[in-house]
Amino acid sequence: DAGITQSPRHKVTETGTPVTLRCHQTENHRYMYWYRQDPGHGLRLIHYSYGVKDTDKGEVSDGYSVSRSKTEDFLLTLESATSSQTSVYFCAISVGVVSYNEQFFGPGTRLTVL
């Protein structure tokens, strides 16, 4: 599993509340990613990071922000959760040489916004 953990694994929250999901890795990989997985949409990239304090948007970044103050932690924040953000969120890291770019995934966080 390349030492990736996500917390919490499950969360139920109410519309309008802030939510932060944490991804933690133990192997100092440079690239980290946040995806959401929804039926009929597969995996969609939210944000990614290519180093400490270096982040960029993915294809579905609206309503989400990220921070990476340490190599090992990549945080995903929903400033004001909406029901459309109910999803399973996966963190991933890239390992191997740059040209290979294999990604390892965390176990996922199931978020329900009521």
Partner 1 sequence: GEDVEQSLFLSVREGDSSVINCTYTDSSSTYLYWYKQEPGAGLQLLTYIFSNMDMKQDQRLTVLLNKKDKHLSLRIADTQTGDSAIYFCAERRVNRDDKIIFGKGTRLHILP
Min. distance of Cβ 29 from partner 1 in angstroms? 15
State which of residues 28, 40, 62, 97 lies at the interface with partner 1 (CB under 8 A): 40
- Which is closer to partner 1, CB of 63 or CB of 110? 110
Amino acid identity, position 89: Y
Phi/psi region, residue 53 (left: phi>0; alpha: psi -120 to 50; beta: rest), is: left
Q: Is 30 a binder of partner 1 (CB under 8 A)?
A: no
Count the site residues for partner 1 by CB under 8 A: 23
Residue with tokens 């989400």: 64
| CA proximity to 86, closest of 56, 63, 57, 53 | 63
Q: Is 97 a binder of partner 1 (CB under 8 A)?
A: no
Q: How far apart are CA 66 and CA 38, in angstroms?
A: 20
Q: List interacting residues with partner 1 (CB under 8 A).
A: 1, 35, 40-45, 48, 56, 58, 90, 92, 99-108
